[in-house]
Amino acid sequence: MIKLYYTLFFARHIFSILIICSLILSCQSERESALTEGKLLAGKYCSSCHLFPEPALLDKKTWINGVLPAMAGQLGIEVLQGNVYLTDKKSALTGKEWSRLVEYYKTLAPDTLQKAAVPVVAANDWCHFVLKKPEEDPGAVSSTTMVAIDEKNHRILTSSSERSAIYEYSSNLEIILSSDLPSAAIDISFAQQPGQDDIITCMGGMQAMDNTKGQVLKYRQKNGKADLLSSDLIRPIQTRPLDYNKDGLQDYVVCAFGHNRGGLYILKQNADHTFGKVPVREVPGATQSIVQDFNHDGWPDIMTLFAHGDEGIWLFLNNQRGGFTAKNIMRFPPSFGSSSFQLIDMDKDGNEDIVYTAGDNSDYSRILKPYHGIYIYKNTGNLHFEKSYFYPVNGCTKAIAADFDKDGDTDVAVIAFFADFKSNPAQTFLYFEHVNEDITFKPHVIPVTANGRWICMDANDYDNDGDTDIVLGNYSKGFLNQENVKPSWNIHTPFVVLENNILNKKSK
């Protein structure tokens, strides 16, 4: 009897254990099925607009509270206080499908992003630079939107969102001319031939909005006069000249960066010298273009960085019939915050490589990201590029590559507007000294952090001494993504110059 009791007792427990195991396996199977479905949905709907965003790119909190609610609207879904609402009958997903997609990111995203390992610790020194500053205005908070060195006339030109104007400074950093503009200038393209005018791009407003109209202007430095070429573009941020149809009339390629609107356009000059707008790629985020004959057929082509949503670099080959054939060169996830690129031969193999920065951090994921920084992509031939260098720089904004130390190779200057002001504010400006023929650098932290917060940069020979100087523009209004961070830098100096003294050093 006792034996039978124990047999039944163990049988009941084994049966219970089997049921529990079955339930656990069933739950695991259902969970795995839900995650698989969530991944498929993310691949279908997210990848239809941009490169597939891996969950590991952002932490859970940023996905759930920032990015996914913002993206829901693109799919006809509204998320309000955690509740999901279908905004119309054309919603791309059902409520259940959206929950599966969210659960995929919530489950697989890390709690926090790990900091990137720094390959080489930066030296803290002035290297071969000397700090120069103009007179500051103690009554104004600097809101510089553009700095540019006019090497031919040995002047520095700036603009500010505080007052819509352009300022010209002498090589002694004294204002010699100021002219009103319809809105703040963000870019200037200096005349390449005698008799030509400079071209100024005024963005209309700092925020990337679809109702912001900017202007493209012809500008004459001699008298500060500006003539309007266009006022019909959504927040234009760069303009470059080209005669894209080879009719002898000067046209312009313009990058326009709105929120859901904007794109890459040609301002085509008509026979009566008016201008019409020709779309090249009408998607938001066009940031920067380089014009040259990439396929060597005698016609100007365009390479453009798009830095919003579908981030990447596209090549537009001139079809010689008034249009272009698009070819994607590189794509980046939408959280990268692409901010600048430059074509330059970094390793002296005869092919132009890409120097690229990621770090724009003013969207829905305002956190420090380990993949922000400076990248170099080696051109292996036929415009195929492979990553050969990365150095992490939080909030990296722009890089300029040039032979700053006059030793025959190419160095790089880098600014970071969205730097880690709590833990590593010195990264607002870095100088990468090229140390051998391979793509290897010795980084330097140039101690200018206390002098401003750098949003724009240019490099050229402003003092006519034969080497390349650097000018940094200070923007100290808002855009503080980190909590409890207040400006610890000078907020009244509009810009600073890092005067290059490498030739003086060598002569000694």
Chain segment 137-186, per-residue pLDDT in tens? 888 999 999 999 999 989 999 999 988 999 999 999 999 988 999 999 99
- Residue partners of 75: CB distance under 8 A and separation at least 6: 45, 91, 92, 93, 98
Whether the Cβ atoms of residue 416 and residue 357 lie closer than 8 Å to each other: no
Residues near 23 by beta carbon (within 8 Å), at least 6 away in sequence: none
- Strand-pairing partners, residue 342, are 355
pLDDT of residue 26: 46
Predicted local confidence at residue 376, as pLDDT:
98
Q: Is the pLDDT of residue 5 over 60?
A: no
Q: Are residues 446 and 399 in the same domain?
A: yes
Reported confidence tier of residue 35, pLDDT bands at 50, 70, 90: confident
pLDDT band at residue 81 using 50, 70 and 90 as cut-offs: low
Name 486's Cβ contacts closer than 8 Å, sequence gap at least 6: 480
- Decide: 277 and 267 in contact? Cβ < 8 Å: yes
pLDDT at 33 over 60: yes
Give the model's pLDDT for residue 208: 82
Q: Is residue 483 part of a domain?
A: yes
Return the closest-CA partner of residue 360 out of 391, 336, 390. Answer: 336
Above pLDDT 70, what percent of the chain? 90
pLDDT digits (tens, 9 = 90+) for 394-427: 999 999 999 999 999 999 999 999 999 999 999 9
Buried b / exposed e over 219-248, threshold 16 CB at 10 Å, is bebeebebeebbeebbbbbbbbbbebbeee
Q: Is the pLDDT of residue 299 over 70?
A: yes
> Is 295 part of a structural domain of the chain?
no
Q: Which pLDDT score is estimated for 19?
A: 54
Model confidence pLDDT, tens digit, residues 266-291: 999 999 999 999 999 999 999 999 99
Does the pLDDT at position 17 exceed 70? no
Task: Report yes or no on 493 lying in a domain.
Answer: yes
62 & 122 share domain: no
Of the candidate ranges 65-79, 372-386, 451-465, 478-492, the one whose mean pLDDT is the lowest: 65-79
Number of domains in the chain: 2
Q: Is the pLDDT of residue 25 over 50?
A: no
DSSP secondary structure string for all residues of 260-329: SSEEEEEEEEPTTS-EEEEEEE-STTEEEEEEE-TTSSSS-EEEEEE-SSSEEEEEEEE-SSS-EEEEEE
Q: What is the DSSP letter of 365?
A: -
How many angstroms separate the CA atoms of 372 and 368, rounded? 8
As a whole number of angstroms, the distance between CA 287 and CA 358 comes to: 13
Res 46: pLDDT: 82
Give, in order, the Cα–Cα distances in Å from 9 to each of 12, 15, 16, 157. 5, 10, 11, 89
Residue 317 placed within a domain: no
Average pLDDT, integer, range 81-91: 61
Q: In this structure, are 361 and 435 located in the same domain? A: yes
Residue 75 sits in the same domain as residue 123: no
Same domain for 368 and 441, yes or no, is yes
Q: Which of 424, 391, 333 is nearest to 118 (CA)?
A: 391
pLDDT of residue 83: 61
Residues 41 and 126 in one domain: no
Q: Are strands 301-306 and 311-318 parallel, antiparallel or unpaired?
A: antiparallel
Task: Pick the range with the lowest mean pLDDT from 182-186, 190-194, 452-456.
Answer: 190-194
- pLDDT at residue number 480: 86
Query: What pLDDT is recorded for position 23?
Result: 45
| pLDDT for the residue numbered 88 | 59
Q: Which residue has the higher pLDDT, 436 or 103?
A: 103
Same domain, 126 and 61: no
Q: Are residues 448 and 361 in the same domain?
A: yes
Does 123 share its domain with 98?
Answer: no
pLDDT tens for 209-257 read 888 999 999 998 777 788 899 999 999 999 999 999 999 999 999 999 9
19 or 249, higher pLDDT? 249
Q: Is residue 308 part of a domain?
A: no
For 324-382, what is each residue's pLDDT tens digit? 999 999 999 999 999 999 999 999 999 999 999 999 998 889 999 999 999 999 999 98
Residue 119 token pair: 């390959």
Domain limits at 490? Answer: 118-133+334-507
Mean pLDDT lowest among 93-102, 391-400, 427-436, 468-477: 93-102
The overall longest dimension of the chain from CA atoms, in Å, is 114
Do 80 and 127 fall within a single domain? Answer: no
Neighbours of 403 (CB within 10 A): 14
**Mean pLDDT, residues 86-92 taken together:** 64
Inter-residue contact 226 to 213 (CB < 8 Å): no
For residue 15, pLDDT over 70 is answered with: no
Residues 128 and 58 grouped into a single domain: no
The answer to whether residue 13 sits within a structural domain is no
Per the prediction, the chain carries an average pLDDT of: 89
In a domain, residue 310? The reply is no
Query: Based on the domain organization, do 447 and 397 belong to the same domain?
Result: yes
* pLDDT level of residue 36 (50, 70, 90 thresholds): confident
| Domain end call among 108, 141, 175 | 108
* pLDDT of 77 over the 90 cut: no
